[in-house]
């Protein structure tokens, strides 16, 4: 096996993998676009869907339809909104249903050069449209504290200015003795919004019903650009059934109908690059889940089992929602499975420990760029002995290169003799041209895993490094790192044995240019990793060549 050929094909395979993944995402999105109707978004399609975001067998009344959402959208125009602010979140809560209809992330601007233009995960209109609705459904009563009733409120403005807990109470009374207090609990520094429904049954009859929650989001319509890595990240519904998480394609829901399942450890949500909105019912309580779409909006809902509250008794129904960046430490406090919203792909088993190591080092250096460099050094040290064998093989190949060239010239018209003489030389000099293959193949999954860590971890978003590199999640604005990368890769090829095949030699010469052009639009954090890895490889190969007395000129 020829090392240079393997390197070329390995890089080519990696490029094909990235291209295929982007193509699959783009193809799925285009399928949604072609099926979308041309009429207004509010003109809902008549279709054969169950049109029920929530179903309980014992209570057929408990249901919601897309026509209800149209009514809810009209309700969002209310002037009596409740504004809630912590140090990291700004929420809008509509007294109509106690619906969260606005969520801005105060520490996350959309772009670093526009600090006042904040990321919005929920909004009552526009491309960021999204609602989180919750309430109680009654089996035997006409009136119920669902997301269509109007709650009373004590104030319209709440702000948490101290370290502690902020509670926003809303009240509803059915007029027959059933009183519901809906509370939102928030703390500074946290993106967890805890929702409670406390039902006090002061009537003379038993109350039967359950609690529900649902997220409504527009189907993603963003365009994809080869110059924007973020545009290829999945944007849409995600669900967890207690065993595995699944990203849902809205076009599949539209064609096949709603997705339904039951679980006592599940959750539903909506993800986009670096951010998530998710509803997590109480762990250990059986819930029924459903995700459906009208091809314009997606409803992801959960509803519990029927509860009975006797006259004079009370009960509190609880739900956790997380509306914010994919900070794994905070999501882990709600349930460890929420970390699955961070999409590391099929190499999660490697990406998770790499992210832990990166975060651990960051806690000391307080700079993600330096953390990337140090993690790269650690990975290189872990594989040093393995790569030393590869470097030793390359050094030997370089040492016998003049004799190989002589054999090729001598037997250029006799391929059988050429192969025989070449193998005799390898045997005599104890050179195994395949010895350098295995270390490179073993390291490739670690590179891919680290690629996903740097691409998907919100901690990298807009993180500064040094000088002109003010955002490790975006491309180098002056393309300095890609140029350094091209120069380093070119130097690396000079240290390795030249391929016998002239065509391969030419490919190896232009590969640094090809990769620098490709990486020019990648996040600068990833380019920093590649540059560091290449420089370390150059240093290692130079030392090995010195050790074995190989002339590098």
Between 112 and 328, residue with greater pLDDT: 328
pLDDT at 60: 31
SS3 at position 198: strand
pLDDT at 299: 92
Between 6 and 415, residue with greater pLDDT: 415
Same domain, 62 and 120: yes
In a domain, residue 10? The reply is no
Same domain, 128 and 208: yes
| pLDDT at residue 224 is higher than 60 | no
In this structure, what token pair is assigned to residue 155?
């104030």
Distance separating alpha carbons of residues 532 and 523, to the nearest angstrom: 15
SS3 at position 145: coil
**Which of 326, 343, 360 is the C-terminal boundary of a domain?**
343
Bridge-based pairing state of the strands 130-138 and 314-325 = unpaired
Same domain, 304 and 371: no
pLDDT at 360: 92
Crossing angle for the helix pair 480-495 and 502-519, to the nearest 10 degrees: 160
Residues present in the chain in total: 553
Confidence of residue 432 (pLDDT cuts 50, 70, 90): low
Residue 519 belongs to domain spanning: 352-547
Angle at 235 between CA 240 and CA 147, to 5 degrees: 65
Cβ-contact 207, 107 below 8 angstroms: no
Same domain, 329 and 385: no
pLDDT digits (tens, 9 = 90+) for 39-58: 332 332 222 223 233 333 33
- Beta bridge partners of residue 181, listed in sequence order: 171, 198
Phi-psi region of 345 (alpha: psi -120 to 50; beta: other; left: phi over 0): left
Q: What percent of the chain has pLDDT over 90?
A: 27
Place of tokens 């909506």: 270
Same domain, 59 and 156: yes
In a domain, residue 8? The reply is no
| pLDDT at residue 91 is higher than 80 | yes
- Give the domain CATH number at 192: 2.70.98.90
Q: Which of 357, 430, 446 shows the shortest CA–CA distance to 395?
A: 430
Q: Which of 303, 95, 98, 300 shows the shortest CA–CA distance to 196?
A: 98
- Overall average pLDDT of the 511-528 stretch: 77
**190: phi then psi, degrees, rounded to nearest 5:** -115, 145
In a domain, residue 6? The reply is no
User: 310: burial class by Cβ within 10 Å (0-12, 13-18, 19+)?
Assistant: exposed
pLDDT digits (tens, 9 = 90+) for 374-424: 998 888 888 777 766 666 666 666 666 677 777 777 776 667 767 777 777
pLDDT at 179: 93
Highest mean pLDDT among 197-201, 284-288, 549-553: 197-201
Q: Which of 107, 106, 191 shows the shortest CA–CA distance to 462?
A: 107
In a domain, residue 28? The reply is no
| pLDDT at residue 11 is higher than 70 | no
Distance separating alpha carbons of residues 410 and 426, to the nearest angstrom: 17
Number of neighbouring beta carbons within 10 Å of residue 261? 14
In this structure, what token pair is assigned to residue 133?
């609705």
In a domain, residue 4? The reply is no
Q: Which of 283, 331, 268 shows the shortest CA–CA distance to 130?
A: 268
Q: Give Cβ neighbours of residue 20 (< 8 Å, ≥ 6 apart).
A: none
pLDDT at 484: 85
pLDDT at 392: 64
**223: phi then psi, degrees, rounded to nearest 5:** -90, 155
Cβ-contact 114, 471 below 8 angstroms: no
In a domain, residue 31? The reply is no
Bridge-based pairing state of the strands 236-240 and 152-153 = unpaired
| pLDDT at residue 172 is higher than 60 | yes
Q: Give Cβ neighbours of residue 244 (< 8 Å, ≥ 6 apart).
A: none
- Beta bridge partners of residue 236, listed in sequence order: 271
pLDDT at 254: 80
In a domain, residue 1? The reply is no
Distance separating alpha carbons of residues 169 and 265, to the nearest angstrom: 28
Same domain, 407 and 485: yes
Q: Considering the chain, what is the average pLDDT of its residues?
A: 76
Q: Which of 365, 363, 369, 366 shows the shortest CA–CA distance to 464?
A: 369
pLDDT digits (tens, 9 = 90+) for 438-453: 666 777 787 788 888 8
Q: What percent of the chain has pLDDT over 70?
A: 71
Confidence of residue 284 (pLDDT cuts 50, 70, 90): confident
**Which of 283, 314, 343 is the C-terminal boundary of a domain?**
343
Same domain, 339 and 419: no
What one-character DSSP code corresponds to residue 342? S
Q: What is the dihedral of CA 411, 415, 421, 427, to 10 degrees?
A: 150
Same domain, 416 and 316: no
Lowest model confidence (mean pLDDT) among 206-215, 320-329, 455-464: 455-464
In a domain, residue 380? The reply is yes
| pLDDT at residue 139 is higher than 60 | yes
| pLDDT at residue 14 is higher than 70 | no
Bridge-based pairing state of the strands 245-247 and 165-173 = unpaired
**Which of 290, 316, 343 is the C-terminal boundary of a domain?**
343
Same domain, 334 and 398: no
Q: Give Cβ neighbours of residue 94 (< 8 Å, ≥ 6 apart).
A: 75, 76, 78, 81, 82, 101
Same domain, 371 and 418: yes
Same domain, 314 and 429: no
Same domain, 322 and 439: no
As for how many domains the chain has, the answer is 2
Angle at 101 between CA 327 and CA 138, to 5 degrees: 105
| pLDDT at residue 18 is higher than 60 | no
């Amino acid at each position: 096996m020829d090392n240079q050929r393997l390197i070329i094909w390995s890089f080519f395979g990696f490029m094909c993998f990235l291209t295929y993944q982007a193509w699959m995402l783009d193809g799925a999105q285009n399928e949604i676009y072609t099926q979308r109707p041309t009429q207004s978004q509010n003109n809902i399609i008549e279709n054969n869907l169950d049109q029920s975001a929530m179903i309980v067998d014992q209570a057929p009344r408990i249901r919601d339809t897309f026509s209800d959402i149209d009514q809810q959208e009209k309700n969002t125009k209310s002037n009596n909104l409740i504004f809630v602010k912590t140090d990291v979140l700004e929420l809008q809560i509509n007294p109509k249903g106690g619906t969260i209809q606005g969520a801005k992330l105060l520490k996350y601007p959309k772009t670093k050069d526009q600090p006042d233009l904040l990321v919005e995960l929920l909004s009552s209109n526009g491309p960021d449209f999204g609602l989180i609705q919750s309430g109680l459904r009654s089996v035997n009563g006409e009136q119920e504290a669902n997301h269509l009733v109007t709650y009373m409120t004590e104030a319209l403005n709440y702000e948490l200015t101290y370290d502690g807990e902020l509670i926003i109470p809303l009240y509803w009374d059915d007029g027959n003795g059933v009183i519901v207090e809906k509370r939102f609990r928030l703390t500074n520094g946290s993106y967890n919004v805890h929702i409670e429904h406390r039902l006090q049954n002061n009537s003379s009859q038993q109350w039967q019903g359950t609690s529900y929650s649902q997220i409504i989001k527009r189907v993603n319509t963003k365009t994809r650009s080869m110059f924007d890595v973020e545009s290829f990240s999945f944007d849409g519904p995600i669900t967890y059934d207690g065993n595995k998480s699944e990203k849902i394609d809205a076009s599949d829901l539209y064609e096949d109908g709603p997705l339904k399942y039951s679980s006592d450890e599940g959750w539903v949500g909506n993800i986009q690059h670096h951010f998530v909105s998710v509803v997590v019912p109480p762990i250990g309580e059986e819930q029924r889940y459903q995700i459906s779409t009208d091809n314009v909006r997606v409803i992801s809902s959960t509803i519990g089992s029927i509860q009975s509250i006797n006259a004079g008794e009370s009960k509190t129904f609880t739900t956790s929602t997380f509306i914010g960046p994919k900070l794994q430490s905070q999501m882990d406090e709600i349930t460890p499975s929420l970390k699955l919203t961070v999409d590391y792909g099929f190499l999660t088993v490697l990406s998770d420990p790499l992210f832990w190591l990166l975060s651990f080092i960051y806690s000391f250096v307080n700079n993600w760029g330096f953390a990337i460099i140090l993690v790269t050094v650690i990975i290189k040290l872990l594989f040093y002995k393995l790569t030393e064998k590869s470097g030793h093989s390359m050094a030997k190949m370089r040492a016998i290169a003049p004799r190989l060239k002589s054999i090729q010239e001598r037997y250029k018209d006799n391929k059988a003799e050429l192969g025989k003489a070449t193998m005799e030389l390898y045997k005599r000099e104890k050179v195994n041209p395949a010895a350098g293959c295995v270390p490179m193949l073993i390291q490739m999954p670690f590179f891919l895993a680290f690629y996903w860590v740097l691409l998907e971890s919100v901690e990298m978003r807009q993180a500064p490094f040094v000088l002109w590199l003010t955002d490790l999640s975006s491309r180098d604005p002056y393309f300095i790192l890609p140029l350094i990368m091209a120069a380093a890769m070119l130097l690396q090829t000079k240290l390795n044995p030249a391929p016998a095949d002239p065509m391969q030699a030419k490919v190896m010469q232009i590969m640094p240019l090809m990769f620098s052009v490709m990486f020019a639009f990648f996040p600068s954090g990833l380019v920093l990793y590649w540059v560091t890895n290449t420089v370390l490889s150059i240093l290692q190969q130079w030392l090995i060549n010195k050790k074995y007395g190989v002339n590098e000129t």
